[in-house]
Structure 1
């Protein structure tokens, strides 16, 4: 599990307005953290997210050359147990997209 990889996981159960269902997520935490804890920090990928799009909290995968489509929701980071959620690695996204996601997260969390 490395930063920049997209995995398919089930995000259920959820509470409130959190993203739900089986969907792709982007790992944003460092590989060293993921290896130590087995609990990567991820952000969901969605085809919706109108509020997040309008508010500037998303990064689009359009034109990134990935099989996964949609937008990455930087406003919903969470730590998940990949094994318990039957995670499956799908692909790796370009570093430029990862860096844009990290910049959005930094703006939200700093």
Structure 2
């Protein structure tokens, strides 16, 4: 399976610990295509349609964008590597580049001292 940055897939995040996002859910691939092609894992940010308190690590995605059927949030604070053979299922769509840019900013906010 060829997986590319910006693609949205259903992923199985079980088992989890503590407050990690769980269940079978959409996620966007954020790792670059060199990693995606050559590594056994890809880096993803999970997507939820459960809205609560938002911050700079949450990126809003309107319904009908990237194949999503509901208004959703990309949770950049839950970034993680997953095995691409064991955890990735069906492709949903492709995240628009303008939203990917916001996701990159959210990830930078989480992992850097900006």
Shared topology, TM-score over 0.5? yes
Are residues 83 and 74 of structure 1, via their aligned partners in 2, closer, same or farther at CA, if it must alter by over 3 Å? Answer: same
In the TM superposition, what is the alpha-carbon distance from 1:86 to its structure 2 partner? 4.3
Which structure 1 residue ranges, 4+ long, deviate > 4 Å from structure 2?
none
1:24: how far off? 0.3
Out of 34, 37, 40, the position equivalent to 2:39 is 37
**Kindly tell me: are residues 66 and 12 of structure 1, through their superposed partners in 2, closer, same or farther at Cα, counting changes over 3 Å?**
same
- What TM-score, normalized to structure 2? 0.86
Over 3 Å counting, the alpha-carbon distance change for 1:93 and 1:79 in structure 2 is: same
Question: In the TM superposition, what are the counterparts of 1:41-52 in structure 2 within 5 Å?
Answer: 41-51=43-53
Specify the alignment match of 2:62 in structure 1. Answer: 62
- Shift of the 95–106 alpha-carbon distance from structure 1 to 2, 3 Å rule, reads same
1:15-34 equivalence runs, <5 A: 15-34=17-36
Residues paired across the two proteins, number: 108
Higher helix proportion (structure 1 or 2): 1
CA RMSD of aligned residues (A): 1.5
Decide whether the 8 Å contact of 1:4 with 1:93 is kept in 2. yes
Partner of residue 101, structure 2: 99
TM-score (ref. length: structure 1): 0.89
Measure how far apart 1:87 and its partner are.
2.1
Flag the 1:33–1:102 CA change in 2: closer, same or farther, 3 A: same
Q: Which runs of 5+ in 2 are unaligned?
A: none
